Amino acid sequence: KSYIVIGAGILGASTAYHLAKNGAAVTIIDRKHPGQATEAAAGIVCPWLTKRRNSEWYHLVTEGARYYPTLVGSLQEDGEAETGYKKVGAINIFGEGKESMLQRKFELALERREDTPEMGSITKLSREETHALFPLLADEYSALHIGGGARVNGRAMRDALIQAAEKHGAVRVHGQAQLTHEEDEQVGVIVNGKEVVADDVLVTGGAWAKQLLEPLGLSFQVTYQKAQIIHLQTNEFQTDDWPVVMPPFGQYFLTFGNGQIVVGATAEDGVNDTRVTAGGVYEVLNKAFKVAPGFSDCEYVETKVGFRPFTPDSLPVIGKVPGYANLYTANGLGASGLTSGPFVGKELAALVMDDVTTLHLSNYDVCKALR
Ligand code: FAD
């Protein structure tokens, strides 16, 4: 069978990879919209400490985190060593006087590990130990350390997936895809003025999927949240093994090799421009400096902008689009799509190839995002 995948962020790239690896003929179409979420994303893979209590969503992110090592191994077999994934651990930090909160989180983590042993070691760290792990933090924080926490460079992972898909015969086309509709409920695809033909069409277009599906008379409910995220550089430390840092408010820091530091991020609902704003940069750095004063002496490199795609109730949808014989979609990975995306792509590929899916796809019914 043959497939067209429209949208090559982490989700489409993973879908295409799993299809191609299983012998299908795949065409990947991507427009490289400025603001692709995968390109801008931070890269935290540590879903187990979340306060969110939606079990379907939790299932996706924990399966996503669990799947990463298998995927990285599979990509390595395909000659893709640069996946940007590394298990560096994660710390949830707590200020003075918050010892009881830290203790509660510790107990919750132990409880959750019973179902998700890949969380690895769970340790309480003293102020000194915390500071030693991430020396740019103020020295007043103690922490909960999760050994199985990881980071991933979204762009590197996306590229590794696409390149490996190409090795298995996938064809990549740069351009803006449009959908056409014929009378027999078959959806067709046009890109760069030419028709592309395949048995099934898979839409993984993130924040842009609404426009793509409109010509079919579908009102697809995907909203977006603009995020501005800042990259800094230190030449003073070796940062390759530093853990991901999750402060007790909605911000985070992580590092990559060569002194690269990522500080995130704003959450601007419905804002659809890719401007780096003074207010955005101020908000992110102002909050960050309070927790990590060491950042103020780092070099400012750039601010990236991306759009987190959300479907209703912030729950992803995955499956067949009703009313069309050959149209499938997945979307709404929100703020945790680097974590869940590779796994969701694998499941979407399994669905269209009539293989066994491990998810109960009725929990992620596409109808929930259609009006
Ligand atoms: P995208 O990556 O946005 O890809 C969609 C693609 O579809 C785009 O390339 C676009 O050009 C293409 N497209 C759309 N329409 C068309 C068309 N008509 N023709 C051709 N191409 C089309 N998640 C985590 O797990 N951990 C994190 O630490 C994390 N940090 C984040 C930080 C930021 C700043 C942001 C923005 C997101 C973060 N996320 C994180 C979330 C994660 O990045 C997203 O959920 C995920 O990348 C969404 O992937 P996607 O493939 O669905 O969409």
Which residue puts its alpha carbon closest to atom 6 of ligand 1? 7
Sorted by sequence, the CB contacts under 8 Å of residue 48 that are 6+ apart come out as: 62, 65, 109, 112, 113, 116, 119, 146
The ligand 1 atom nearest the CA atom of 207:
3
Q: Is the ipTM of this complex over 0.90?
A: yes
- The confidence band for 184, taking pLDDT boundaries of 50, 70 and 90, is confident
- DSSP-based three-state secondary structure for 59: helix
CA 32 to CA 13: how far, in whole Å? 13
Q: Which of 5, 17, 18, 30 to mutate to test the pocket of ligand 1 (most atoms within 8 A of CB)?
A: 30
Tell me what the pLDDT averaged over the chain comes to.
97
> Which protein residue's CA is at the shortest distance from atom 36 of ligand 1?
306
Selected from 3.40.50.720, 3.30.9.10, 3.90.650.10, 1.10.287.3510, the CATH number assigned to the domain covering 223-310 reads 3.30.9.10
Domain borders along the chain are: 2-43+155-221+312-369, 90-148, 223-310
Percent pLDDT > 90 in the chain is 96
Model pLDDT for residues 121-156, shown as the tens digit of each residue = 999 999 999 999 999 999 999 999 999 999 999 999
In our burial notation (b when 16+ CB lie closer than 10 A, e otherwise), range 39-75 reads bbbbbbbbbbbeeeeeeebbbbbbbbbbbbeebbebb
Type and span of the H or E element at 254: strand 252-255
pLDDT computed for residue 331 by the predictor: 98
Write out pLDDT tens, residues 55-78: 999 999 999 999 999 999 999 999
CATH of domain 2-43+155-221+312-369: 3.50.50.60
Q: Is 44 in the pocket of ligand 1 (CB under 6 A)?
A: yes
Q: Nearest CA to 153 among 231, 223, 234? A: 231
| Alpha carbon distance 189, 269 (integer Å) | 31
The pLDDT of residue 212: 98
Q: Which residues contact 282 (CB under 8 A, 6 or more apart)?
A: none
Residue 330 Cα: closest atom of ligand 1: 52
Could you tell me whether strands 177-181 and 150-152 are parallel, antiparallel, or unpaired per DSSP bridges? Answer: unpaired
CATH topology identical between 2-43+155-221+312-369 and 223-310: no
Asked whether the predicted pLDDT for residue 213 surpasses 90, the reply is yes
229 lines ligand 1 (CB under 6 A): yes
Question: Is the per-residue pLDDT at 371 higher than 90?
Answer: no
The Cα 304–Cα 227 span in angstroms is 8
In the block, tokens 């995306």 appear at: 341
> 151 in ligand 1 pocket by Cβ < 6 Å?
no
